[in-house]
Amino acid sequence: MESKKGSGGLWSLFWTFAKMGVMTFGGGMAMLPILQREVVDNKGWATEEELTDYYAIGQCTPGIIAVNTATFIGQKCGGMMGGIMATLGVVFPSVVIISILAGLISNFADLAWVKNAFAGIQVCVCVLIFNAVMKLLKKSVVDKRTAVIFLLVLAGGLFLKLSPVWFVIAAALAGILLKNLEAKQA
Amino acid sequence: MIYLQLFWEFFKTGLFAVGGGMATLPFLQAIGESTGWYTYTDLMNMLAVSESTPGPIGINMATYVGFTAAGIPGAVIATLGEVTPSIIVILIVAAVLQSFRNNKYVDRAFYGLRPASTGLIGAACVSVILEVLTGVRLALLTGIVKAPVLSGESLLNIPGLLLAAALIVLTNYVPKVKNLHPIVFIGLSAAVGVVFRFAGA
């Protein structure tokens, strides 16, 4: 297999992922078709099957899906440095664009029409988050026990003075415990 | 010192937020509550901008929050903090790819993790809806419930609720329209906000 190590390969990883970062609008899901075109069709860095695998694992490991997938493809092409360069590439456009925008917006934040516009946008953000939760519910709440976990964490998240970290740790342990019990009973 | 704190807060977010960009929201809420770097409303605006600009939402939000806390260096450090756990975890997983995929404990842990992650985002969703559409403030970490009735403001944001209802229909039930990119709905809502003076400004 062709090795992509060396500085040329690393920069190519950086720029290709930077380009994909610019083209991604929205969540990690929006990135898949772009990854397929660039990584599989244009660069040949991974096969269709490998990409699907990376993407699936990227969704169920901690962190941003786009970053996880980028690290995966990068490390396959250029080892550890490849993984790091691909990730730096995919976040590079965000850092530049958001820093510029954030600076601009803070200058205009006191204008009446900007305030009104953001008040309208906040309503939309509510709906977008609500839609995201509904979509996730279908995938994550698959039986009575997952429904109970969902409701417990929902209530805990609203009323307890706890960092989300603890809910995540507890839920992972609960998952292992419940499935172990089920395996024993079977 | 703020840089170290930023890196650490976002390192934790990157390590424990499972399920992509939106899963970081409850963590960002908690960071805002405990540090006072930004308010709920600020976070909502950041989310809207993050959805409407190029780049993965989770990274855009990290950059924006970092920028709000400590300028451009803050933006860079928050983003690096958030991706560092990803890099470490993925490099490890890649090394043991086959056994990771077939590991029953990983599988079992995710059985519990997925609904929990949804529950956390759901809680963030409820508090955000209360704040924007009703004015009831449910402080995440302090447990204080602030009802606007006491200060004489109206309890329900009627124009906001009407817009929300319209958006729910548009984004879920209208063929063709529902598949449009969120930026379209954000733009529409901004226009409605300006025309009907949503902030009263």
Q: How far apart are CA B118 and CA A140, in angstroms?
A: 7
User: Exposed/middle/buried for B86, CB within 10 Å: 0-12, 13-18, 19+?
Assistant: buried
Structural contact between residues A67 and A91, judged by C-beta atoms closer than 8 angstroms: yes
Query: Which chain A positions have a beta carbon within 8 Å of B193's beta carbon?
Result: 116-121, 123
The beta strands (E) that lie in chain B are given as 55-56, 137-138, 145-146
Paired tokens of B127: 């508090």
Looking at residue B138, its pLDDT comes to: 55
Give the closest residue to B81 by CA, choosing from B53, B106, B59. Answer: B59
Looking at residue A134, its pLDDT comes to: 92
Looking at residue A52, its pLDDT comes to: 83
Closest approach of chain A CAs to the CA of B150, in angstroms? Answer: 21
Collapsed DSSP state (helix, strand, coil) of residue A3 = coil
Looking at residue A186, its pLDDT comes to: 79
> How many residues would you count in chain B?
201
Looking at residue B32, its pLDDT comes to: 93
Paired tokens of A67: 């970053």
Say how many C-beta atoms besides its own lie within 10 A of residue B1's C-beta.
Answer: 5
Coarse DSSP helix, strand, coil percentages of chain B, rounded to the nearest 5 percent: 75, 5, 20
Choose among A129, A150, A151: nearest Cβ to B124.
A129
Per-residue pLDDT of B87-127, as tens digits, reads: 999 999 988 877 777 788 888 888 898 899 899 889 888 98
Q: Which of B86, B91, B142, B198 to mutate to test the interface with A (most CBs of A within 10 A)?
A: B86
Q: How far apart are CA A90 and CA A66, in angstroms?
A: 8
Q: How far apart are CA A106 and CA B105, in angstroms?
A: 46
Q: How far apart are CA A171 and CA A158, in angstroms?
A: 16
CB-based contacts of B154-159 (< 8 A; 24+ apart in sequence):
B157/B132, B157/B133, B159/B196, B159/B198
Q: How far apart are CA A176 and CA A145, in angstroms?
A: 12
Give the closest residue to A72 by CA, choosing from A90, A93, A55. Answer: A55
Q: Report which DSSP code applies to B197.
A: T
Paired tokens of A106: 């803070």
Looking at residue B136, its pLDDT comes to: 67
Closest approach of chain B CAs to the CA of A169, in angstroms? Answer: 8
Low-confidence ranges of chain A (pLDDT < 70): 1-8, 26-30
Looking at residue B148, its pLDDT comes to: 44
Paired tokens of B93: 């997983």
> pLDDT 10s digit of each residue in chain B, 201 long?
899 999 999 999 999 998 778 889 999 999 998 999 998 888 988 998 898 888 898 999 999 999 999 999 999 999 999 999 999 999 999 888 777 777 888 888 888 988 998 998 898 889 888 888 886 665 444 444 554 444 445 677 888 999 999 999 999 999 999 888 888 898 999 999 999 998 887
Judged by a CB distance cut-off of 8 A, whether residue A81 touches chain B is no
For residue B18, list its beta bridge partners: A62
Q: Do residue A132 and residue B67 have CB atoms under 8 angstroms apart?
A: no
Looking at residue A93, its pLDDT comes to: 95
Q: How far apart are CA A76 and CA B177, in angstroms?
A: 39
Give the closest residue to B135 by CA, choosing from A155, A108, A119. Answer: A119
Q: How far apart are CA A105 and CA A119, in angstroms?
A: 14
